[in-house]
Amino acid sequence: MRAMQVTELGQPLTLEDIPEPQAAPGQVVVKVRTCGLNFGDLLIIKGTYQEKPQLPFTLGMELCGTVTAVGEGVTDLLTGQRVAAYCGFDALADYAAIPANVCVPVPDEMTDEHAAAFLIAYGTSHVALSYKAGLKPGERLLVLGASGGVGLTAVELGKLMGAEVVAVARGAEKLQVAKQAGADHLVNSETDDIREMVKALGGADVVYDPIGGDQFRAALRACNPEARLIPLGFASGEVPQIPANHLLVKNLTVIGFYWGGYTRVNPAVLTDSFRELIAWYVEGRIHPHVSHVLPLEEANDALDLLRTRKATGKVVVRIS
C-alpha cells in the first residue's frame, strides 16, 4: 500500500510502498479516506514532539475511513462501518491498523473531510474550555492563534458556551475567519497591542494559548484576578517561562493540558467530549472549517500550508 513516511527527521515525507497492516487483538484495520493534518505533525517531523516514533514511520494523527478488518476481542465495531479516529501516527496511508477504543462512529450527516478535521481540533478546545478551565457563560475568553486549526474551534465553542470571545490572529483576512466563527472582538497580532486592547475590553477571564512566546506574556498581563490560562502549544517556537509572582498577585491559575495524553490516563474524558460534539454537529450548531483538501501525493504541500501559516482552520489530505 501507499504511505507517506518520515525516513529522516527534518526532511520532506517520501511516498513509500509498504505492506498492508493486519489487525492485532484489540485493533481494527481502516481503509483511510481522509487524514486531518495538525501542527503537531510538523513537530513530529522535526523530532521535537512529545512522542518520538522510531524511523521510518508513517505520519498522520487523525483519520476518517471504513473498517475492513476486526481484530480478536473487538465487539463494538463491524467491517464496513465508517469511523473517525485519533491514532497519533499512520493516517497518511491507504490503510491503518489502530486500537478500536480510539475509533468513533461517524454519522451519515458528517462528510469525510469534516470527520478527519474534527476530533483533535474540536476535542482539544472542548476539553480545554469545559473540562479543564470550566468556562462559564458571560466570561471573557481570549483565544490566541484564533484562525488556526484548534484556535478557530475555541472561538466557535467559546461562543456556543456563552462566553464573550476575543480573537487574536495575524492579519485582517484571518481575523475575518474568526469573526465568522463567532468572535466578538478582533485583535491583529501584527499591528495591535494585545495587552492594552484586552485590558480596554475589561480583561481576560480565560486564556486559550496554542502560540506561546510574546503573546502568552501579553495575555498573562491582560488577565483579570482568578483568570485561568491554558498553554496547549507553542507555535511561536518559544515556550514561555511563567513568573510565579504574577500568579500570586492576581490569584491566577495556569493549567497544563495535553489532549492526546487522555487516551492513556482517562479515555472517558475524550469519549464523553466526542459524544457531545458529534451531537452538536448533527444539530448544526458547529461547522468545521477546512481551508484546503489535497491528495496524498501532495502531502508535503499540505504540510507547507501549515508551516507557512497560509491555511485557516484545517488542512485535509484525501487518500481515497
| Nearest of 152, 149, 189 to residue 307 by alpha carbon | 149
- Residues 108 and 127 both lie in one domain: no
Residues 62, 83: Cα–Cα separation, whole Å: 11
Asked if residue 204 is part of any domain, the answer here is yes
* The residue type at 45: I
Residue 68 belongs to some domain of the structure: yes
Task: Note the pTM of the prediction, 2 decimals.
Answer: 0.88
- Indicate if 165 and 249 belong to the same structural domain: yes
Q: Which amino acid is at 86?
A: Y
Point out the domain boundary residue: 259, 280, 304: 259
pLDDT, tens digit, for every residue of 75-126?
Answer: 999 999 999 998 889 999 999 999 998 899 999 999 999 999 999 999 999 9
Residue 61 lies in a domain: yes
Domain annotation covers residue 268: no
- Count of domains forming the chain: 2
Cα separation, 144 vs 148, in Å, equals: 9
Question: Which amino acid, 257?
Answer: F
In whole angstroms, give the CA distance from residue 209 to residue 134. Answer: 16
Residues 46 and 137 placed together within one structural domain of the fold? no
Residue 297's pLDDT is 97
pLDDT value for 265: 85
Which SS3 state, helix, strand or coil, does residue 84 take? Answer: strand
Domain region containing 173: 122-259
In order of 107, 142, 219, 231, 256, the CA distances from 212 in angstroms are: 36, 13, 10, 7, 13
- Predicted confidence at residue 101, as pLDDT, reads 86
Q: Is 265 within the bounds of a domain?
A: no
Interval 211-235: pLDDT, tens: 999 999 999 999 999 999 999 988 8
Both 141 and 79 in one domain: the answer is: no
Q: Are 208 and 132 in contact (CB under 8 A)?
A: no
25/108 same-domain check: yes
Confidence at residue 183, expressed as pLDDT on a 0 to 100 scale: 97
Final residue before a domain boundary, out of 217, 239, 259: 259
Task: Give yes or no: residues 93 and 184 share one domain.
Answer: no
What confidence tens digit (pLDDT) does each residue in 252-307 have? 999 999 888 888 888 888 888 988 999 999 999 999 999 999 999 999 999 999 99
Residues 255 and 169 in one domain: yes
> In this structure, are 23 and 143 located in the same domain?
no
CATH (domain of 100): 3.90.180.10
Q: What are 26-79's pLDDT values in tens digits?
A: 999 999 999 999 988 999 999 988 888 999 999 999 999 999 999 999 999 999
Q: Pick from 240, 259, 278: which residue ends a domain? A: 259
pLDDT, averaged across the chain: 94
